[in-house]
C-alpha cells in the first residue's frame, strides 16, 4: 500500500490554488479574489475526505477545471467560482439554494445546469441522454454551463488512465459523440483536437500508439523541413515590415487517423501531414488585406493547389472561425497546408466563444456567424418536442454540418447546412413561407422544393396559399427549423390517429391479458420495427393490429425471458454483473466469450463481426440477449454514449477452436494467375474456409472482396501479411 503524505498534499492544493489566482489576476475586479477564496474553501471542505480513482485528493479536479476555464478558454470570475463548486451539489449535502444564498443567482443557475439528474429512468429511456438534454438546454440561459462542462470533460479525459477499461470506453465515446463536436462548434479548436486525440488513445489504442510513435520518429526531420520551408517566407515578411510569428506543427493524431481511414492509406501517404500557421499583428481595418498580401508572398515561393484554397476571412465559419488556408507544394515534393490569420483571428480560433466576446466588447459590433448559430440553436431548442434520445440526435446533426453560402434576391447572405434544400431556405426565411413553398427560382431558373443548394446560389421562393406540408418533405430537409415546423403541421392530424391506435391496442392487450406498461410498449415497438412509441400507435391507428400479431409478440416475449435461465431479466450492466457473479462465483464480473455460453444468452453482433483477439464489450439489449461488439464498431460510440449503464466488460477465451466470419478487401494490379495465387494462400496454405469471393477488374486495376472464416486476429493478421506478399497485390484491408 502506498503511504500518503498528507502535509505534502496540503501544500500541493495550496500551490494549485495560488497558480489559479495568478492566472486570474489580469481580469479580477475588486472583491473577486475574496469570492474565489470563499468558493475554494467551500469546495475543499465539501470534498475533504474524498479521493479520485487515481488516489489523488478530489479537490485537485475542481481546481484543474477552473484552471482550464481561465487559461485555455479565457473565462472570468463567475466561471471560476462555478468550476470550483461544480461537483459540490451532486456529490455532497450542499443544495442549490445554499449556493444561491452564498454566491448569487448566476452561479446557482450554472451549477444547476452542470448537476446530473438524480433518480431512476423509465425502461427504454437513457439517463445519459436526459443529462445531455438538461445541459444543452442551458444554451438558452447561460452558455458558460457548456464551456465549464467542456473543461470538466477535458480534465476527466486527461486523467482517464486510472479508470477501468469499460468506463474508459464509455467516457471516451461520450466525448467523441457530443463534447468534441460541441467544442468544435463553439470554436474551441485546441480543446476539440485534444479531446479527439484522447478519445483515440483509449478507443483505438494500437492506432494511436502507431501514429504518435511515427510523429515522434519524424520529429527531427520535420523540424528541419519546417525551418527550411518557412525561411524564404520569413525573410520576405521581415523585409516588408510585417510583425508576425510562424508556427509549424503536424496535424493532430485524430486528424491523421481520419485521413488514413478515409483515403485508405498508410501514415507515410497522408496528403498533408504538416500545417504552417502565420499569425499577423495588425489592425482590424487592415487584417483582411494584409492576410491576402501574405498569401501572395507565400504563393510567390510555392505553387498552390487551386482546389485547396479556403477563404474564411471574407465569410467566417458559423462557429466564428476566420482564417485563410492554402495548400502549397514544397520544393521537396510534399504538400504543406499554410494558414494565414491575424492575432485576433488566432485568439478566436484557440479560445472560441470567450475570445469572441472579448473582441466584441472592444469594438466589433455586428452579429457574428457564431451568434447567429447560437440564436438558431436557441430557436431549435424551443421547438423540439421529443424524447431525450431524439433530442440529442437532432442536436448532434446541427453540430456536424458543413455550410453552404447562399443569397436572397436582395443579396443578403444566408448560411445553411451542407445538403440544404430550397425548402430549408424557405423555412430559414420564415416558417409561414416554408409551409406555403411550392418551388424556387435559383439563379433565375425554376427548381423543385427538394433542389439541393450550392455555394453562391441566389434563391427566390415561390409560394401558394393552397400548399400544405406533407410527410415526404421530411426526407430531404436537413435544418431543425424546417423539420420541427413540418412535424408540427403533420402532428395535429397524426395525433388524433395515434390516440385511436393506442385505444385499440390497450383494448386488445387487455383481452389477451398482456401487461400494459412502458416496458411492454418498448418491446412491441422493436417487435413491429418502428422508431418511437408514437409511431407504434400511429401505425396501429392506420393499419390496425390483429390478435395473431399480439399472440406472436406475447409468445416471443415469454420465449426470450425463459431462455437460458432467465439471465436477461437484468436491464443494466450492474444488475447483470451481480447475476453473473452469482452464477460463476466471486472474482469474475466479466463476460468470457467462449466459456459462458451455457450461462448467458449472448451473440456476436453482425454490424461489426468481432473475432477472437478484437477488443470487445458486451451490450445488454432489450430483447436479444447480450450482443458482443468490437470497441471500434460503427455503432459503439452511440451505444456507449446513450446507454453506458447497459455495457459490460467482455474478453475472449482461447479454449475453443471456433471459426468467425470476417471480410477482406484486396486491391492491386491485375495479371494472369493472380486469383489462383490469392485463393491458393487462403484455402491451401493457411486452410482458411472461404464463404464468397468477388473480383472486379478495370483497365489493369483489380479490386476484390473475400468473405471468409478465421480463428482469431492473429490468424487474420498472418493471412493479410501472406496476401500482401503476392505479386501485384498493393493493399489488403479488413472490412466489417
Do 391 and 173 form a contact (C-beta atoms < 8 A)?
A: no
Separation CA 36–CA 451 (nearest Å): 55
DSSP state of 650: E
Separation CA 569–CA 714 (nearest Å): 36
C-alpha distances (whole Å) from 68 to each of 61, 160, 493, 645 are 11, 17, 50, 29
Do 498 and 538 form a contact (C-beta atoms < 8 A)?
A: yes
Of the candidates 168, 114, 172, the one whose C-alpha atom is nearest the C-alpha of residue 141 is 114
Do 647 and 638 form a contact (C-beta atoms < 8 A)?
A: no
Separation CA 438–CA 466 (nearest Å): 9
Look up 235 and say whether it is catalytic: no
In this structure, the number of other CB atoms found within 10 A of the CB of residue 484 comes to: 21
Separation CA 553–CA 550 (nearest Å): 5
Of the candidates 379, 450, 366, the one whose C-alpha atom is nearest the C-alpha of residue 413 is 366
Do 514 and 554 form a contact (C-beta atoms < 8 A)?
A: yes
Look up 90 and say whether it is catalytic: yes
Of the candidates 411, 546, 424, 543, the one whose C-alpha atom is nearest the C-alpha of residue 474 is 424
Separation CA 171–CA 180 (nearest Å): 12
3-state secondary structure of 585: coil
Query: Pick the catalytic residue: 45, 91, 122, 235?
Result: 91
Q: Is 161 exposed, middle or buried (0-12, 13-18, 19+ CB in 10 A)?
A: exposed
Helix (H) or strand (E) holding 677: helix 674-679
Distance, CA of 417 to chain centre? 17
* Residue 437 dihedral angles phi and psi, to the nearest 5°: -70, 130
Of the candidates 279, 322, 331, 323, the one whose C-alpha atom is nearest the C-alpha of residue 301 is 331
Distance, CA of 191 to chain centre? 13
451: cell is 433542389
Separation CA 652–CA 101 (nearest Å): 54
Separation CA 402–CA 289 (nearest Å): 26
Cα angle value 591/132/157 (rounded, 5°): 60
Q: Is 612 exposed, middle or buried (0-12, 13-18, 19+ CB in 10 A)?
A: buried
Query: Pick the catalytic residue: 9, 12, 49, 90?
Result: 90
Do 640 and 173 form a contact (C-beta atoms < 8 A)?
A: yes
Of the candidates 63, 60, 56, 62, the one whose C-alpha atom is nearest the C-alpha of residue 23 is 63
122: cell is 423509465
Separation CA 91–CA 82 (nearest Å): 15
The residues with which 592 forms a beta bridge, in sequence order, are 651
In this structure, the number of other CB atoms found within 10 A of the CB of residue 376 comes to: 17
Catalytic site positions: 90-91
Amino acid at each position: 500500500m502506498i503511504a500518503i503524505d498528507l502535509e505534502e498534499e496540503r501544500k500541493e492544493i495550496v500551490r494549485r490554488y495560488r497558480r489559479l489566482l495568478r492566472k486570474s489576476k489580469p481580469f479580477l475586479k475588486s472583491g473577486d479574489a475574496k469570492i474565489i477564496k470563499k468558493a475554494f474553501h467551500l469546495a475543499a471542505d465539501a470534498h475533504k475526505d474524498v479521493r479520485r480513482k487515481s488516489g489523488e485528493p478530489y479537490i485537485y479536479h475542481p481546481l484543474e477545471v477552473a484552471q482550464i476555464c481561465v487559461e485555455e478558454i479565457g473565462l472570468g470570475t463567475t466561471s471560476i467560482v462555478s468550476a470550483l463548486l461544480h461537483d459540490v451539489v451532486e456529490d455532497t449535502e450542499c443544495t442549490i439554494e445554499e449556493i444561491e444564498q452564498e454566491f448569487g443567482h448566476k452561479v446557482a443557475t450554472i451549477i444547476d445546469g452542470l448537476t446530473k439528474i438524480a433518480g431512476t429512468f423509465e425502461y427504454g429511456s437513457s439517463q445519459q441522454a436526459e443529462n445531455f438534454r438538461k445541459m444543452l438546454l442551458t444554451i438558452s440561459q447561460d452558455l458558460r454551463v457548456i464551456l465549464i462542462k467542456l473543461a470538466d470533460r477535458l480534465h476527466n479525459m486527461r486523467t482517464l488512465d486510472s479508470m477501468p477499461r469499460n468506463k474508459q470506453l464509455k467516457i471516451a465515446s461520450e466525448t467523441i459523440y457530443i463534447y468534441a463536436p460541441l467544442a468544435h462548434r463553439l470554436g474551441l479548436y485546441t480543446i476539440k483536437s485534444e479531446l479527439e486525440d484522447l478519445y483515440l488513445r483509449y478507443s483505438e489504442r494500437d492506432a494511436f500508439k502507431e501514429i504518435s510513435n511515427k510523429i515522434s520518429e519524424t520529429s527531427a526531420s520535420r523540424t528541419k523541413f519546417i525551418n527550411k520551408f518557412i525561411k524564404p517566407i520569413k525573410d520576405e515578411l521581415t523585409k516588408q515590415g510585417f510583425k508576425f510569428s510562424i508556427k509549424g506543427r503536424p496535424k493532430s493524431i485524430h486528424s491523421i487517423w481520419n485521413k488514413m481511414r478515409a483515403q485508405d492509406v498508410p501514415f507515410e501517404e497522408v496528403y498533408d501531414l504538416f500545417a504552417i500557421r502565420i499569425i499577423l499583428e495588425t489592425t482590424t481595418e487592415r487584417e483582411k488585406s494584409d492576410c491576402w498580401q501574405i498569401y501572395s508572398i507565400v504563393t510567390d515561393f510555392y505553387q498552390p493547389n487551386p482546389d485547396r484554397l479556403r477563404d474564411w476571412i471574407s465569410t467566417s465559419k458559423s462557429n466564428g472561425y476566420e482564417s485563410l488556408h492554402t495548400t502549397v507544394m514544397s520544393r521537396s515534393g510534399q504538400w504543406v497546408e499554410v494558414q494565414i490569420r491575424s492575432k485576433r483571428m488566432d485568439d478566436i480560433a484557440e479560445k472560441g466563444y470567450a475570445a469572441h466576446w472579448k473582441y466584441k466588447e472592444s469594438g466589433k459590433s455586428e452579429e457574428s456567424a457564431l451568434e447567429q448559430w447560437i440564436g438558431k440553436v436557441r430557436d431549435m431548442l424551443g421547438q423540439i418536442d421529443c424524447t431525450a434520445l431524439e433530442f440529442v440526435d437532432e442536436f448532434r446533426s446541427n453540430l456536424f454540418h458543413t455550410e453552404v453560402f447562399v443569397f436572397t434576391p436582395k443579396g443578403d447572405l444566408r448560411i445553411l447546412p451542407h445538403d440544404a434544400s430550397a425548402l430549408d431556405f424557405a423555412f430559414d426565411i420564415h416558417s409561414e413561407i416554408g409551409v406555403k413553398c411550392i418551388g424556387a427560382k435559383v439563379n433565375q431558373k425554376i427548381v423543385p422544393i427538394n433542389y439541393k443548394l450550392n455555394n453562391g446560389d441566389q434563391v427566390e421562393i415561390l409560394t401558394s396559399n393552397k400548399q400544405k406540408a406533407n410527410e415526404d418533405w421530411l426526407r430531404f430537409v436537413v435544418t431543425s427549423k424546417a423539420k420541427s415546423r413540418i412535424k408540427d403541421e403533420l402532428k395535429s392530424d397524426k395525433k388524433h390517429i395515434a390516440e385511436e391506435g393506442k385505444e385499440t391496442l390497450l383494448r386488445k392487450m387487455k383481452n389477451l391479458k398482456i401487461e400494459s406498461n412502458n416496458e411492454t410498449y418498448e418491446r412491441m415497438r422493436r417487435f413491429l420495427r418502428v422508431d418511437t412509441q408514437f409511431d407504434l400507435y400511429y401505425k396501429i391507428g392506420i393499419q390496425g393490429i390483429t390478435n395473431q400479431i399480439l399472440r406472436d409478440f406475447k409468445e416471443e416475449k415469454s420465449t426470450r425471458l425463459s431462455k437460458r435461465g432467465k439471465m436477461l431479466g437484468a436491464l443494466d450492466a450492474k444488475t447483470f454483473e451481480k447475476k453473473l457473479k452469482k452464477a460463476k462465483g466471486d472474482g469474475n464480473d466479466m463476460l468470457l466469450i467462449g466459456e459462458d455460453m451455457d450461462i448467458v444468452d449472448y451473440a456476436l453482433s453482425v454490424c461489426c463481426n468481432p473475432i477472437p483477439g478484437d477488443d470487445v464489450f458486451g451490450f445488454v439489449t432489450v430483447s436479444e440477449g447480450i450482443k458482443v461488439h468490437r470497441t471500434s464498431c460503427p455503432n459503439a460510440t452511440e451505444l456507449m454514449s446513450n446507454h453506458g449503464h447497459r455495457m459490460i466488460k467482455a474478453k475472449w477465451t482461447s479454449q475453443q477452436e471456433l471459426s468467425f466470419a470476417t471480410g477482406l478487401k484486396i486491391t492491386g494490379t491485375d495479371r494472369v494467375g493472380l486469383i489462383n495465387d490469392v485463393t491458393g494462400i487462403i484455402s491451401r496454405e493457411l486452410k482458411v474456409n472461404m464463404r464468397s469471393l468477388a473480383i472486379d477488374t478495370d483497365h489493369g486495376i483489380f479490386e476484390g472482396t473475400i468473405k471468409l472464416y478465421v480463428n482469431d486476429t492473429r490468424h487474420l493478421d498472418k493471412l493479410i501479411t501472406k496476401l500482401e506478399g503476392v505479386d501485384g497485390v498493393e493493399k489488403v484491408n479488413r472490412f466489417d
